[in-house]
């Protein structure tokens, strides 16, 4: 579903990617980890077509992002949901208007249909009753839930989550990860979750890829990751043994 082939990218002489190759199958969820500044957000921007590769290819559902233009790019982007780092909402719009925004922009649905869809999605993320509150009137966890609803409201086939739990307390963060997992079970999207919350996220993903020094340094299932002996992986992941379906931390 998503294929990244030998991707190179640098900014002002700073080589962020030196040949990234990664494949994510349809319906699979991948955790993307690595130190701050290693290029996780930049990689998601390449997958969504917001950034173009200097060298190499990003192929989404059989189409090379760099070659897709105009209406085809719009229709490909419409199938993709992006929860940005920071999960920002539009401050001048209430929760309902924020979640309705992509439907109003991208679809020809009637106001009544949009309302029904938005209410349904807000219920799914546990925000019923907060529809008419403004971002400044709700907690950080609720902002993330609303941003998640906005990303999911168009029924995306691909979901990109950039640090969905940053800034949240551990309990709220865990609730967001569980919400992402339940949304995945319901919608079966193909997903990438960028995260530093290794212990929580390893419990819900199929595979993990770690970026380091401009390449995919290590790749495998969460349980394989827990047993990799590579010192870079060990330093980063710590002494935890975690696998899909259950978290068994040894720390
Ligand atoms: N638009 C840009 N212009 C110039 N440099 C950029 C741009 N976007 C990213 N970079 C640089 O690319 C590198 C990777 O940035 P990126 O935001 O992808 O890191 P990250 O892995 O997401 O980090 P974090 O975990 O802190 O979010 C950084 O050195 C950053 O300064
Ligand atoms: Mg980032």
pLDDT at 87: 64
Residue ranges of the chain with per-residue pLDDT less than 70: 86-87, 239-251
Q: For residue 84, what are the contacts with CB-CB under 8 A and spacing of at least 6? A: 147, 162
pLDDT at 40: 96
Pocket test for ligand 1, best of 7, 15, 18, 39 (most atoms within 8 A of CB): 39
User: Shortest CA distance to 184 belongs to which of 124, 139, 237, 136?
Assistant: 124
The pTM assigned to this predicted structure is 0.89
Measured distance between the N- and C-terminal CA atoms of the chain, rounded to whole angstroms? 35
Report residue 54 CA to chain centroid gap.
23
Residue minimizing CA distance to atom 30 of ligand 1 = 37
Residue minimizing CA distance to atom 17 of ligand 1 = 41
User: Which tokens in the block code for residue 232?
Assistant: 């870079």
Give the Å distance between the CA of 236 and the centre of ligand 1: 19
Q: In the structure, which protein residues have their CB atom closer than 6 angstroms to any atom of ligand 1?
A: 11, 14, 16, 34, 36-42, 85
| Ligand nearest to C-alpha 46 | 1
* Residue 194, beta-bridge partner list: 32, 162
């Amino acid at each position: 579903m998503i294929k990244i082939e030998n991707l190179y990218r640098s900014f002002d002489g700073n080589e962020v990617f030196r040949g990234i190759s990664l494949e994510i199958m349809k319906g699979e969820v991948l955790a993307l980890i690595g130190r701050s500044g290693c290029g996780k957000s930049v990689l998601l921007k390449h997958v969504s077509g917001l950034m173009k590769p200097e060298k190499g290819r990003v192929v989404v559902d059989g189409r090379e992002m760099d070659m897709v233009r105009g209406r085809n790019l719009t229709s490909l982007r419409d199938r993709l949901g992006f929860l940005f780092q920071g999960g920002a909402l539009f401050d001048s719009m209430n929760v309902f208007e924020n979640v309705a925004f992509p439907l109003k922009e991208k679809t020809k649905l009637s106001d009544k249909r949009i309302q029904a869809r938005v209410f349904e999605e807000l219920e799914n993320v546990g925000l019923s009753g907060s529809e008419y509150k403004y971002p400044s009137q709700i907690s950080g966890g609720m902002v993330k839930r609303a941003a998640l609803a906005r990303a999911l409201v168009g029924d995306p086939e691909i979901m990109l989550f950039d640090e969905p739990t940053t800034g949240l307390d551990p309990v709220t963060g865990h609730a967001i990860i569980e919400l992402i997992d339940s949304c995945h079970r319901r919608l079966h999207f193909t997903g990438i979750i960028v995260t530093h919350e290794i212990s929580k996220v390893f419990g819900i993903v199929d595979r993990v890829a770690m970026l380091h020094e401009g390449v995919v340094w290590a790749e495998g299932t969460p349980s394989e990751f827990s047993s990799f002996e590579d010192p870079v992986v060990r330093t980063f992941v710590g002494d935890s043994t975690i696998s899909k379906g259950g978290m068994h931390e040894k720390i």
